[in-house]
Homo-oligomer: A and B are copies of this chain.
Amino acid sequence: MDSQNIVMAKGFKASAAAAGLKKNKGLDISLIYSECDATAAGVFTTNKVKAAPVLLTRENISSGRARAIIANAGNANACTGQAGLENARTTVRLVADGLGLRPEDILVASTGVIGKPLDMDLVSAAIPKLIGSLSADGLTSAATAIMTTDSFLKFSQYDGHAGGSPFCIQGIAKGAGMIMPDMATMLCFIISDIAVEADDLKKALHNSVERTFNRITVDGDTSTNDMVLVLANGTAGNGRLSQQDFGKFQSGLTQVMGELARMIAKDGEGASKLVDLQIKGAMSAEDAINAARTVANSSLVKTAFYGQDPNWGRIMAALGRSGIVMDEASVDIWVNDIQIVSNGLGLGVEVERRAAEMMTLDKFTVTVDLKQGRYEDKVVTCDLTHDYVSINADYRT
């Protein structure tokens, strides 16, 4: 899809501005607005250290309704104490005043450097510009403005029918480093014109997050600022959702969030390869996800991906410390359809050469069959590269 010509879901507008919060002076603040009342749901970071906008948005979204999202990059407004919370409240109040809404109608999100006071002069000056430039084709600019170390814009759309009416779901996201299951430095905003009850929206969001964003990992860190927000304003006119139509909405939401999640993993800081890490034959569901995450987060495994080296010994070592039930002598490992390990033993130089060839691709699958039970799970990860180190050693300087 050409993201330059997106028409937003009915009844939504968006805009972006350069407030001066980013070092490069690019677009760094954005507004998404629904012309009518929308049901709303959110999922937030599990980190005990929560940024001010996370605290405030969690409070405001508890009603299950919202009208707008104001989001900035360049400063996370995290670890900023009471003053940080005041700044988030002020931001929300300024947006509400400008739009003729109540402060509790506004959701706020931030991403960027932690521990630095938000420059409210810059934010205050930008808000009237954002409100003045709201338009039905502003979503691309809004998506651009939330990018930090992201190297490409992340947008996904799903079109469906419910109750005889067409509806659409649109999502934008930012990711990059600190991406770990259970929400990480990642913002994702979803809008839809479908009519859906707040409780159903919440249920759909949690289901989709569990199957998408909670199945990607970049570096095992978890950020203070992550959130996924979804607004549905009912302008599609689909009436009350049947169970079947809810199912369509749910799968559309999962598709949009799944695409965004894969884009985030692919754009992991410095990443050059997208790897699907698939665990089969685990004794329990918990073992399946623990094994997948431990292997996917191993620095040694991730540097081997970067080196295009089917170094399965590192995968075995990661499995061995993951705490799962396993028997070394039962483990099979594949790279795409090339089996490199059978019953814990390597299948030799020739298959490894063929596996190494697969690993030159920018996308491949590693499958581990533990042969302990019937559970399976999958995590999408990326490689650990020289560029990851460069980006993160130089982030503030």
- Distance in angstroms between the alpha carbons of A107 and B240 in the assembled complex: 73
Is B385's CB under 8 angstroms from A389's CB?
yes
Is A114's CB under 8 angstroms from B314's CB?
yes
Residues of B within 8 A of A290 (CB): none
Q: Is the interface of A mostly helix, strand, loop or mixed?
A: loop
A386 CB–B CB distance under 8 Å: yes
Q: Mark A309-333, 1 if CB is under 8 A from B, else 0.
A: 1011110111111000010110000
Candidates B114, B313, B396; contact of A309 at CB < 8 Å: B396
Candidates B115, B316, B318, B344; contact of A316 at CB < 8 Å: B115
Identical copies in the complex:
2
Is A76's CB under 8 angstroms from B313's CB?
yes
- Distance in angstroms between the alpha carbons of A224 and B312 in the assembled complex: 13
Is B344's CB under 8 angstroms from A81's CB?
yes
Residues of B within 8 A of A220 (CB): 298-299
Q: Which of A102-146 contact B (CB under 8 A)?
A: 113-116
User: How near does chain B come to A319, taking the closest CB pair, in angstroms?
Assistant: 7
Which of A11-19, A43-51, A198-206, A258-266 lines the interface with chain B? A43-51
Is A307's CB under 8 angstroms from B115's CB?
no
User: How near does chain B come to A214, taking the closest CB pair, in angstroms?
Assistant: 14
Is B221's CB under 8 angstroms from A309's CB?
no
User: How near does chain B come to A307, taking the closest CB pair, in angstroms?
Assistant: 3
Given contacts A79-B346, A344-B79, A397-B307, contact A318 B221 (CB under 8 A): yes
Is A222's CB under 8 angstroms from B389's CB?
no
A80 CB–B CB distance under 8 Å: yes
Is B397's CB under 8 angstroms from A224's CB?
no
Is A177's CB under 8 angstroms from B47's CB?
no
User: How near does chain B come to A74, taking the closest CB pair, in angstroms?
Assistant: 14
Is B115's CB under 8 angstroms from A346's CB?
yes
A1 CB–B CB distance under 8 Å: no
Given A48-B328, A220-B299, A389-B389; 4 other pairs, CB 8 A cutoff: A47-B317, A114-B311, A221-B299, A307-B397
9 contacts between A and B (CB under 8 A): A48-B319, A50-B320, A78-B313, A78-B316, A115-B346, A219-B299, A221-B298, A299-B384, A304-B395
